[in-house]
Amino acid sequence: MAKIQAIRGTKDILPEELQYWQFIHNKISNLLECANYQEIRTPIFESSDLYDRGIGRDTDIVNKEMYRFHDRSNRDITLRPEGTAGIVRAFIENKMNYHHSLQRLWYSGPMFRYERPQSGRQRQFHQLGIEFLGSLDARADSEVIHLAISIFNNLNLKDLKLDLNSIGKAEDRSIYQAKLQEYLKQYYDDLDPDSQKRLISNPIRILDSKNINTQKILAEAPKISNFLSISSQRHFDAVCNYLKLLDIPYNINDKLVRGLDYYNDTAFEIKTLTSKGQDTVCGGGRYDSLVKQLGGVATPAVGCAIGLERLLLLAKENIELPSKYVDFYIATQGKKANEVGMKIMRFLHQKLFTIEIDVSSSNFGKQIKQANKKRAVACIIIGNQEVEQGTVTIKWMSNQQQEDMSIMQFEHSTSYLKKKILFYKNLKSY
Ligand code: ATP
Ligand code: MG
């Protein structure tokens, strides 16, 4: 029989690895709560229309990367390739602007894209994103960028670079697009095949090409910055000004255009200078027309998404996880003792001690070895003798001291036990 394996491009996150995920998740969520951002969770599958209309049919994501299928009722469904479109749908559907015209939201969860798997690129991957809906002010853009940067700083990530650009409004872009097309047509034969295709469908995306020859041709190409309207130019200047004020270094990259159609004005990416593979850890920008485009009341917005796999690849080496231990390891021998052990287990669990009960029925020597392996602060031993006397033996593992207590006394000693556990934990840095 064929072996059943995880689907190509997906990964199990095993318990040991998950500790790192939880560590960064807690850090980031604390940081975002402090900035008064609220978490939102939307479904991982949506009607395909949402992405056709939201992200745009001429983008790589919609064209080539979507997990799109028909369900049993023949609905056209897509596993979400990104978070923003779903959040905007939820924003409209739940009339979130009704109570608060400003919404500061964040999300985190799996996204799905059919891409060639490699280091830092999977088919199921995770993004954490920030969305600030309801403001046209350049302070909103700067706040989102500041938060993304502060997330990286908080995880001690250095050697990052913020690339910034303004891609103007749709009208500015269509004039620019024509100029760019005109320029690139002269070099059609020298462009890489992907760029040749894009020359008709989405010429601005050619700016993003990694092909060296194409890049050479692009060096002399018209620049979007010369086609910005006055209001876009002002907005961009204001964002730059706030970033300077916040001591956030940035690099203006006039080739930065981003792969989704819904962006306007501010576009940015945060890249690592150290990783060899996939170097973009965060991408974002302003999307003032998306809410209206998806049927809501026109609402400006700005946001970004961080790729968590790529973030972890960088952050892991700086993370020192707190060591794992258990407060009490419960060792028992014999039928009656097993029963007493179960009750002790329930009692300690209710009092929120960290515990583990040994279910091996092996001899005490082996069980105590296990207790050491699990870094137990204490072992509770219950054998025939204890059962007869109605007691338990507590063995403090760091100095091997033992004490006997009647079960009755034990169950009235919570604060004593808490203190002792704390004392021994401090004594030996568990
Ligand atoms: P790339 O150029 O690497 O394909 P993108 O522009 O498609 O990135 P965005 O849509 O902006 O990426 O997504 C934001 C972030 O999500 C990226 O910067 C990256 O860190 C992460 N990301 C995107 N696609 C993947 C993937 N297939 N696997 C892992 N992380 C991803
Ligand atoms: Mg991509």
- Give average pLDDT by consecutive 10-residue segment, the chain, 430 residues: 95 97 97 98 98 88 94 98 98 91 96 95 98 98 98 94 96 92 94 91 88 92 95 98 98 88 93 83 97 96 97 93 93 97 98 98 97 96 97 96 96 96 80
Ligand 1 binding pocket mutation candidate from 280, 282, 304, 312 (most atoms within 8 A of CB): 280
- Its CATH architecture, for the domain 326-420, is 3-Layer(aba) Sandwich (3.40)
Residue 127, annotated ligand binder? Answer: yes
Residue 416, annotated ligand binder? Answer: no
| 281 Cβ inside 6 Å of ligand 1 | yes
| 310 Cβ inside 6 Å of ligand 1 | yes
pLDDT for position 103: 97
* Domain ranges, ordered by start, for the chain: 15-169+229-318, 326-420
Distance of CA 214 to the CA centre of its chain: 33
Compute, in angstroms, the gap from residue 169 CA to the centroid of ligand 2.
23
Compute, in angstroms, the gap from residue 55 CA to the centroid of ligand 2.
13
Give dist(CA 392, CA 201) in Å, integer.
77
Question: How many CB atoms are closer than 10 A to CB 422?
Answer: 12
Residue 258, annotated ligand binder? Answer: yes
| 121 Cβ inside 6 Å of ligand 1 | yes
Hey, what long-range contacts does 9-17 have (CB within 8 A, 24 or more apart)? Answer: 9/114, 9/115, 9/117, 9/122, 9/123, 9/124, 10/122, 10/123, 10/124, 11/122, 11/124
Compute, in angstroms, the gap from residue 414 CA to the centroid of ligand 2.
54
Compute, in angstroms, the gap from residue 161 CA to the centroid of ligand 1.
16
Pick from 163, 170, 305, 168: nearest CA to 223 = 168
Residue 84, annotated ligand binder? Answer: yes
* Protein residue with least CA distance to atom 21, ligand 1: 307
Residue 171, annotated ligand binder? Answer: no
Q: Which ligand is nearest to the CA of 305?
A: 1
Compute, in angstroms, the gap from residue 429 CA to the centroid of ligand 2.
45
Question: How many CB atoms are closer than 10 A to CB 294?
Answer: 18
Question: What would the two tokens of residue 399 be?
Answer: 């100095």
Question: How many CB atoms are closer than 10 A to CB 361?
Answer: 12
Question: How many CB atoms are closer than 10 A to CB 83?
Answer: 24
| 307 Cβ inside 6 Å of ligand 1 | yes
pLDDT for position 311: 96
Which residue's entry shows tokens 């707190």? 322
pLDDT for position 428: 66
| 305 Cβ inside 6 Å of ligand 1 | yes
Q: Is 9 left (phi over 0), alpha (psi -120 to 50) or beta?
A: left
CATH homologous superfamily for the domain 15-169+229-318: Bira Bifunctional Protein; Domain 2 (3.30.930.10)
Q: How far is CA 18 from CA 3, 21, 138, 152, in A?
A: 25, 5, 37, 19
Give dist(CA 168, CA 180) in Å, integer.
15
Residue 389, annotated ligand binder? Answer: no
Spatial CB neighbours of 245, under 8 Å, sequence gap ≥ 6:
none
pLDDT for position 332: 98
* Protein residue with least CA distance to atom 19, ligand 1: 307
pLDDT for position 258: 83
* Protein residue with least CA distance to atom 28, ligand 1: 121
Would you state the torsion angle of the CA atoms of residues 81, 200, 169, 272, taken in this order, to the nearest 10 degrees? 50
| 115 Cβ inside 6 Å of ligand 1 | yes
Compute, in angstroms, the gap from residue 196 CA to the centroid of ligand 1.
23
| 82 Cβ inside 6 Å of ligand 1 | yes
| 65 Cβ inside 6 Å of ligand 1 | no
Compute, in angstroms, the gap from residue 120 CA to the centroid of ligand 1.
9
